[in-house]
Amino acid sequence: MIEDNLTFVDGIEVRIHRKCVKNLRIRVVAPDGHVEASTPLCMSRAQVEAFVRSRAEWIARQQQRLQTSPQRIAELASKEECAAWRDLIAALVPPLVEKWEEVLGVHAGSLAYRNMRSRWGSCQPETGRICINTRLALYPPECLEYVVVHELAHLLEANHGPAFYAILDRALPTWKSARDKLRS
């Protein structure tokens, strides 16, 4: 793979990766919105520039979407904002846990709330301790409910196998939609 940088007159900077690939592919990469292009080894710089220019509006839309995404907002948040999210989540989670404990026939141990970068929640089946990401305050309520149900389901099935997903399907048939919102 050969790398070089390319800056266009209209201000789009693209990191070019020349590879043994058939087609030119561009993408806008989270979290900062930089643009990468994977190009065939034999493609000229002019062809790459022309393609990127033809996709300039799409690139701008993707970069704008990233700038207003909950992930980006969370990265730029002040301590006060993070504290407000924690307070909100701490108020919303206990009633959800109570509701879903009854539905699933489980009992959670302690509840904790943390600002986490790489996961939405965690469960320790041995102790019943459930930790919920405070960044869920930035998402629709169904996402928080999904994470609560997901973590409580781990009290019945520790692993992410077919039995675990069968529990989610029975308890919360819309869980995939909420999961997809968190992934986007």
pLDDT grade for 73, boundaries at 50, 70 and 90: low
Percent of the chain with pLDDT over 70: 90
- Looking at per-residue pLDDT, the higher value among 2 and 124 belongs to 124
pLDDT of 122 above 90: yes
Task: Output the pLDDT for position 107.
Answer: 96
Task: Output the pLDDT for position 178.
Answer: 96
Distance CA 154, CA 124 (A): 8
Q: 95 preceded by cis ω (within 30°)?
A: no
Judge residue 141's burial from the number of C-beta atoms within 10 Å of its C-beta, 0-12 exposed, 13-18 middle, 19 or more buried. exposed
Task: Output the pLDDT for position 9.
Answer: 43
Question: Are the CB atoms for 62 and 131 separated by under 8 Å?
Answer: no
pLDDT of 30 above 80: no
Helices within the chain (DSSP H only): 45-54, 56-67, 70-75, 79-104, 141-153, 162-171, 175-183
Name which of 31, 34, 28 is nearest 117 in CA terms: 31
CA Rg value for the chain: 22
Q: List domains and CATH numbers for the chain.
A: 6-68 (no CATH), 77-182 (3.30.2010.10)
- Looking at per-residue pLDDT, the higher value among 14 and 5 belongs to 14
Say how many C-beta atoms besides its own lie within 10 A of residue 82's C-beta. 15
Model-wide pTM > 0.75: no
- Taking CA atoms, 127 is separated from 112, 133, 156, 165, 170, in Å, by 13, 19, 13, 22, 24
Express each pLDDT in 89-112 by its tens digit.
999 999 999 999 999 999 999 999
Task: Output the pLDDT for position 111.
Answer: 97
